[in-house]
Amino acid sequence: MTPTARQRLVAPDGALRDTMSWTLLAQEYPASPAAAAATEAFDVLGQKLL
C-alpha cells in the first residue's frame, strides 16, 4: 500500500496535488534516521512547539 493520496489537496492555484502520509511508532523512533534529524514544530500562530 502506498502512503500517497493522489490529487487530494487543492493548491492555491486550484491545481490538485498529491499528499503523502507516513507513520512511525514510538518504539521504532530511536533506531530510525528521524531520531538524528533536526526537528522544529510550530503551532498555527507561529509559536514554537519543539
Q: What is the pLDDT of residues 13-41, one digit of tens each?
A: 999 999 988 888 999 999 999 899 998 88
- What's the pLDDT band for 3 if we cut at 50, 70, 90? confident
pLDDT at 2 over 70: no
pTM for the model stands at 0.44
Residues 42/48, Cβ–Cβ less than 8 Å: yes
Cβ within 8 Å of residue 9, ≥6 positions away:
16, 17, 18, 19
- 40 phi/psi in degrees, rounded to 5: -135, 145
> Cβ distance 50 to 40 under 8 Å?
yes
- Give the whole-angstrom CA distance, residue 6 versus residue 4: 6
